[in-house]
Amino acid sequence: MELTSLLNDSTCHIVLVVMDGLGGFADAQFDSELEQATTPNLDRLAAEGVVGLTLPAGAGITAGSGPGHLALFGYDPTEYELGRGVLSATGVEFDLRPGDIAARGNLCTLDDEGNVTDRRAGRIADDRAQALTDALNDGVKVDGVEAMFRHISSHRVLAVLRGEGLDHRIADLDPQKTGVPPKDPAPLDPAAEHTADVLRDVDAAIREVLSGQDGADALLLRGFDTHHDLPSFADRYALRAATVAIYPMYRGVAKLCGMDTLPRPSGLGEQIATMRDRWDDYDYFFLHHKKTDEAGHDGKRDEKVAAIEAMDAVIPDIVALEPDVIAVTGDHSSPTQLSGHSWHPVPTLLWGPHVGRDNVTSFGERACAGGLLGQRPTQQLMPIMLASAGKLEKYGA
């Protein structure tokens, strides 16, 4: 049975609040960051709604931000794989065209024998990396293909190839360790042999340009991918959807799903003001909060707790808009104990007049284990939100 066959054309108001990397875990020393945070407003939503735990990509799987968000948007993250190259392109708002090949590159240093000495070129400064990227755009000329570069941040660079007959099924050139040379371009499918040949020339041209510059000697490319046409929110859910995300990558993923990207807000207050201003123009708003994940990556417990509390403080402003349903969750876990993404289930709450209630009265990982939402794939949130907002008709007589 297709969900689309059950959709009606009613309007509604769904708000998805994503605290990036929200989930954590308790151990001998600590509660989870969410459990430690003082969150009276989220606790109120938990008490008045239902809670549970969500798994973006399956038991034990640590999800990246791409699959994490696709799952939140109701797309099967194993069916719609977004390579790092495409996510990097969306992240700098590069307008990838059908047939383009995108990869994420690390500016790196090599020794005299061509072995990698630092995969991040000493975490090269932004202005130097930008100068190197400009030099690459000026100097990398290869027959039959256009090579384009965009600086992302520090050592991170987007590389895009545009030309006839390119295929993205190419193994990473990045060896992921030092003391060895970058890998030679290798096709993962016979159809990508031409692309591998082109890449060999591009790689040589990159090194030639960088040899005349200070700061880096090569670009380690990985995550080759191509433009994807994802089915849109309008087609899949009959929703007019918009994002008030701040960071380019999340705006980019939302755009891939056909959401409107509203003018970039500067912080939580502006994100909510933008939602309020455009409230009647959309059925669905995606509100993304990045600071929880940043603090998780840096292993900074106090900062992650503070980022959660900052979101808690604006919850009443979202409730005041009187949405049909609010979901508060994360795209994956980012426990400060691990300084990075993890597989731990993500605490999740749903709130709204027809959502129902359970006996849980606070929002935290351990409390969520007893909630009515149960433990489920993240992807299942979307149909429950649609149902709670009155968008789904009965299945079968």
H or E, element range at 65: helix 65-72
Other Cβ atoms within 10 Å of 276 Cβ, number: 12
Shortest CB 56 distance to a copy of itself, Å: 9
Cβ proximity to a copy of itself: between 176 and 211 the closer is 176
Shortest CB 276 distance to a copy of itself, Å: 24
Give the residue among 221, 259, 266, 227 at the shortest CA–CA distance from 243.
259
Cβ proximity to a copy of itself: between 163 and 374 the closer is 374
Alpha carbons 142 and 156: distance in angstroms, whole number? 22
Cβ proximity to a copy of itself: between 128 and 222 the closer is 222
φ/ψ of 199, rounded to 5, equals: -60, -35
H or E, element range at 235: helix 233-237
Alpha carbons 321 and 276: distance in angstroms, whole number? 7
φ/ψ of 208, rounded to 5, equals: -60, -45
Q: 221, 138 in Cβ contact below 8 A?
A: no
Assigned token pair, 83: 């390579």
Cβ proximity to a copy of itself: between 149 and 351 the closer is 351
Shortest CB 328 distance to a copy of itself, Å: 17
Residue 98 zone, left/alpha/beta (φ > 0; ψ -120 to 50; rest) = beta
Cβ proximity to a copy of itself: between 205 and 238 the closer is 238
Shortest CB 375 distance to a copy of itself, Å: 4
Shortest CB 142 distance to a copy of itself, Å: 26
Shortest CB 144 distance to a copy of itself, Å: 28
Shortest CB 33 distance to a copy of itself, Å: 13
Other Cβ atoms within 10 Å of 215 Cβ, number: 16
Shortest CB 183 distance to a copy of itself, Å: 18
Cβ proximity to a copy of itself: between 105 and 345 the closer is 345
What Cα–Cα distance (Å) separates residue 124 from each residue in 54, 131, 158, 298?
Answer: 37, 11, 15, 18
Cβ proximity to a copy of itself: between 220 and 275 the closer is 220
Sheet containing 50-55: give its strands across. 260-261, 241-243, 284-289, 14-19, 325-329, 346-351, 50-55, 374-377
Cβ proximity to a copy of itself: between 88 and 271 the closer is 88
Buried b / exposed e over 286-321, threshold 16 CB at 10 Å, is bbbbbbbbbbbbeebbebbbebbbbbbebbebbbee
Shortest CB 341 distance to a copy of itself, Å: 5
Cβ proximity to a copy of itself: between 81 and 197 the closer is 81
Q: 352, 385 in Cβ contact below 8 A?
A: no
CA atoms within 13 A on the CB side of 165: 11
